[in-house]
Amino acid sequence: MKRALQDITKEIDIECSTNIEIENLATLKNSIKSSLSFFHDKKYLADLKTTKAAAVILEEQYANELPSGVIALVTPNPYKKMAEATELFAYKPTTKTFEPKVDATTQLCDSVRCGKDATIGANSVVMSNVFIGENVSIGENCIIYPNVTIYHNTKIGNNCIIHSGTVIGSDGFGFVSRDNSNIKFYQIGNVIIENFVEIGANTTIDRATLGSTIIKSHAKLDNLIQVGHNCEIGEYSIIVSQVGLSGSTKLGMGVVMGGQSATAGHLKIGDKAMIAARGGVTKTLDGGKIYGGFPAVDIRLWRKTQAALMRLVKKK
């Protein structure tokens, strides 16, 4: 979808004297020369200084940090204005269905419904009442069990198994609270699921706000898991039932998260870290260690703390 920059800025009430064509909305880091991006948090200042975006929505005090040639769209509320811009690029749902592109060896139940330009690879099996959205690609040797919903633009690799009731690509939970209203930040990214991934029943994986939510190869997800927008789950990770990952959580390779553990958003968990059941991760954690408790700490410290508390209680 292409839009003139001045048409966009008119809709969101920002002054702009330069008119170029914008192809997409993107993060500062992932922008290309035809992207519109935004800056709203100082922790992304390094990305602002190196962005390749055509234009950036930002506060006036940061305009001089932009690379040469990048257009500054100045506003006191960049996050709100970007949210308003996402509506202009939001996906428009339709009830129309189309025949998917399939291989001669692909098996589809008659009740499967597909959007435009869906593709399903060789030897894949798609069972009853599955919905596959527009521009979805599913690789070879996949099994999609009944009642799975796969939203538009999702990319699924080879040898994946997705169990019943799972929803992939629904909107991430994004809103801007201003003036006693909640303005929707339309989720215009997608979900990418790499090869040899298995996803349990009734799990939900949100599409990215901008960019992609990514489940990397050989990751295994249990039932009843919530994966927020823009999360990244590393290769060979194991995520146990009822885990909740808040938006933009990044898990390294081989991370294990026990049942009902959870994370706050915008943090990283290093390679081969383990989070014990019901652990609550509130900050970035190093890899190669085992953590427990809330807030999650080294599990040996957590166990000593619990033992000390128990001794205090018994003394009374």
Per-residue pLDDT tens over the stretch 94-103: 999 999 999 9
Residue 308 phi, psi (nearest 5)? -65, -40
Query: 25 in a domain, yes or no?
Result: yes
175-178 contacts, C-beta under 8 A, 24 or more apart: 175/83, 176/79, 176/80, 176/83, 178/77, 178/80
Query: 313 in a domain, yes or no?
Result: no
Last residue of a domain, one of 30, 65, 89: 89
Dihedral sign from CA coordinates of 65, 71, 73, 78: negative
Query: 311 in a domain, yes or no?
Result: no
Residue 130 lies in domain: 101-300
Q: Tokens for 62? A: 């940061």
Q: Tokens for 171? A: 């909107």
CATH number of the domain within which 9 lies: 3.40.1390.10
Same domain, 132 and 154: yes
- Three-class SS of residue 124? coil
- Could you tell me if 152 and 208 are in contact, meaning their C-beta atoms sit under 8 angstroms apart? no
Same domain, 111 and 85: no
Query: 273 in a domain, yes or no?
Result: yes
Mean pLDDT of 146-160: 98
Strands 250-251 and 238-239, bridge-based pairing: unpaired
Mean pLDDT of 108-123: 98
Same domain, 106 and 191: yes
Same domain, 83 and 203: no
Cis peptide before 67 (omega within 30 of 0): no
Same domain, 53 and 146: no
pLDDT, residue 315, reads 76
Same domain, 167 and 22: no
Same domain, 174 and 279: yes
Please give the positions annotated as active site: 229
Query: 36 in a domain, yes or no?
Result: yes
Residue carrying the six token digits 């506060």: 59
Query: 62 in a domain, yes or no?
Result: yes
Query: 239 in a domain, yes or no?
Result: yes
Residue 314: pLDDT above 90? no
- Three-class SS of residue 307? helix
What are the tens digits of pLDDT across the range 157-179? 999 999 999 999 999 999 998 77
Same domain, 129 and 159: yes
CATH number of the domain within which 184 lies: 2.160.10.10
Same domain, 84 and 129: no
What are the tens digits of pLDDT across the range 13-52? 999 999 999 999 999 999 999 999 999 999 999 999 999 9
Q: What gap in Å lies between CA 282 and CA 299, rounded to an integer?
A: 15
Same domain, 105 and 85: no
- Three-class SS of residue 288? coil
- Percent over 90 (pLDDT), the chain: 95
Q: Does an H or E element contain 304, and which?
A: helix 299-315
Of 129, 208, 141, 195, nearest to 168 by C-alpha is 208
Query: 308 in a domain, yes or no?
Result: no
DSSP state letter for 61:
G
Strands 297-298 and 290-292, bridge-based pairing: antiparallel
Query: How many domains does the structure of the chain reveal?
Result: 2
Confidence of residue 316 (pLDDT cuts 50, 70, 90): low
Same domain, 62 and 144: no
